A and B are shown apart, each in its own frame.
Chain A
Amino acid sequence: MLTAAIIAAVIFFVPPVKGLGDLAKIIFFHVPTAWVAVLAFFVSAFFAAKFLRTGEFSFDELSARSARLGFIFVLMATASGAIFSKLTWGAYWNWDPRQTTIFVLILIYGAYLTLRAAVTDEKARAKVSAVYSLLSVLTVPFLVFILPRMFFSLHPAPVINSAGKLEMDTEILTALIAAAVDATMIFYQLMKKRR
């Protein structure tokens, strides 16, 4: 865990030196956290399905832990994203499709954790939250399909950073992938640690 954190620090702080501007540093934090937030969501649903199949409470525990970690990561991704958005696009928030998706993810995580907190009986809580976790996974592909339509129609001109994504230096790309891998490792370690 500690070593992972140190490696993370190295990876996080090396690339900006050769990066674009100072602002671009944020993406090395933002993209990996967002990636883990989404990953944790599916991991949580995966263990929820495993729990429903087997009835093993350890799977429920893993599903819950993944959701808790995911919630923390999604908050970090959103906060860093909002700052980046303010600095580059001029506003903290403008409901572009990605922002909407991540916000829905916050809502789902929040709803899931509220549900867990509200059910006291251990067995009922495990079942109920596993069912909710699986139900909420279904919405994601639909939102990915619907949201760009919704929000393009409100803003006829594409205001999103489609142009900014065209090219990426291999160095930055490597660093970004490394950061994402590292964030995933941190997530994995945190999942394992409290087992």
Chain B
Amino acid sequence: MKLSNFRFEQAAAIFRKDFLLGLRRRAAFAAMLMFSLTATANLSLSIGGAIFDENLLAALLWVVIFFAASAGISGTFETEAAAGTLATLKLYAEPQAILFGKMFFTLASLAALTVFLLPIFLILFDCTVAQIWLLLAVIFFGIIGLAAAGTLIAALTTSASVKGGLFPILLFPITLPIFLPAIQLTAAAISGADFETELLMTMAIFDAILITAASILFDYLD
């Protein structure tokens, strides 16, 4: 990471650009939200009111988040790639600024996704959360990791000819160290059981590593 080259204004400008574009073209964002709604409704309807234990609920929640995120953030660089403006953007801004601008935007999208999804999920599955702060912390660290890995992988897949399905295939093994503790901690949050703080720490450390790695590796992609 070349911090000396990093300009916060540039990252903020890219965030703002994507945000404004996102408001204008809501398709990708709406698709992500609708995907999460459809998946949750699908699961809830197919199950038809059966009572689940917390492990299963936690797993379902994270599976929905994972695939909704995949649907939403795989096209992070798509607009620029399709319009052929990615090269121009790279002339204007430092790669690091592009990466972090995109990453913050992805993080904001994922935060919006979970704000939308979580209440619906909890209501449809009639689930009470015993330790709400733990759940929020887990989701926070979870989506940071998804955003960091997702942004870099979205950059990787822009040059791929076959796009459908490629993104989740690439994302899943990378985010597994976040995914697995997240499920276990979410289960603990729902049931109110004791949890291992180490797992939360692991998620935070892995987030930091993913951000650093994305930052270092993004420089090589031009």
Q: How far is the CA of A154 from the CA of B173 in the complex (A)?
A: 21
User: When the two chains form their complex, are residues B169 and A147 in contact, meaning their CB atoms are under 8 A apart?
Assistant: no
Q: How far is the CA of A117 from the CA of B153 in the complex (A)?
A: 16
User: When the two chains form their complex, are residues B176 and A138 in contact, meaning their CB atoms are under 8 A apart?
Assistant: no
User: When the two chains form their complex, are residues A142 and B177 in contact, meaning their CB atoms are under 8 A apart?
Assistant: yes
Q: How far is the CB of A52 from chain B (nearest CB, A)?
A: 5
User: When the two chains form their complex, are residues B217 and A135 in contact, meaning their CB atoms are under 8 A apart?
Assistant: yes
Interface residues on B, range: 20 to 34
User: When the two chains form their complex, are residues B213 and A114 in contact, meaning their CB atoms are under 8 A apart?
Assistant: no
Question: In chain A, residues 86-135, which have Cβ atoms closer than 8 Å to a Cβ of chain B?
Answer: 104, 107-108, 110-111, 114-115, 117-121, 124-125, 127-128, 130-132, 134-135
User: When the two chains form their complex, are residues B221 and A127 in contact, meaning their CB atoms are under 8 A apart?
Assistant: yes
Known: A139-B177, A143-B177. A115 touches B160 (CB 8 A): yes
Q: Is A150 an interface residue (CB 8 A)?
A: yes
Chain B minimum-CB-distance residue to A53 = B220
* Size of the chain A interface, CB-CB below 8 angstroms: 34
User: When the two chains form their complex, are residues A139 and B174 in contact, meaning their CB atoms are under 8 A apart?
Assistant: yes
Q: How far is the CB of B13 from chain A (nearest CB, A)?
A: 25
Q: How far is the CB of A64 from chain B (nearest CB, A)?
A: 15
Q: Residue B174 contacts which of A117, A118, A135, A146 (CB distance < 8 angstroms)?
A: A135
Q: How far is the CB of A113 from chain B (nearest CB, A)?
A: 10
Q: Tell me whether chain A's interface is mostly helix, strand or loop, or mixed.
A: helix
Q: How far is the CB of A147 from chain B (nearest CB, A)?
A: 7
Q: Is B149 an interface residue (CB 8 A)?
A: yes
What residues of B have a CB within 8 angstroms of the CB of A146 in the complex?
Answer: 177, 180-181, 199, 202
User: When the two chains form their complex, are residues B156 and A131 in contact, meaning their CB atoms are under 8 A apart?
Assistant: yes
Q: Is B80 an interface residue (CB 8 A)?
A: no
What residues of B have a CB within 8 angstroms of the CB of A127 in the complex?
Answer: 220-221
Q: How far is the CB of B200 from chain A (nearest CB, A)?
A: 12
What residues of A have a CB within 8 angstroms of the CB of B161 in the complex?
Answer: 118-120
What residues of B have a CB within 8 angstroms of the CB of A121 in the complex?
Answer: 159
> Interface on A for B, CB 8 Å cutoff?
52, 104, 107-108, 110-111, 114-115, 117-121, 124-125, 127-128, 130-132, 134-136, 138-139, 142-143, 145-147, 149-150, 153-154
Q: List 27 A-B contacts (CB under 8 A).
A: A52-B220, A104-B173, A107-B169, A107-B172, A107-B173, A108-B173, A110-B169, A111-B169, A114-B166, A115-B156, A115-B157, A118-B160, A119-B161, A121-B159, A128-B160, A128-B221, A135-B152, A135-B214, A136-B173, A138-B213, A139-B174, A139-B176, A143-B177, A145-B202, A146-B177, A146-B202, A149-B184
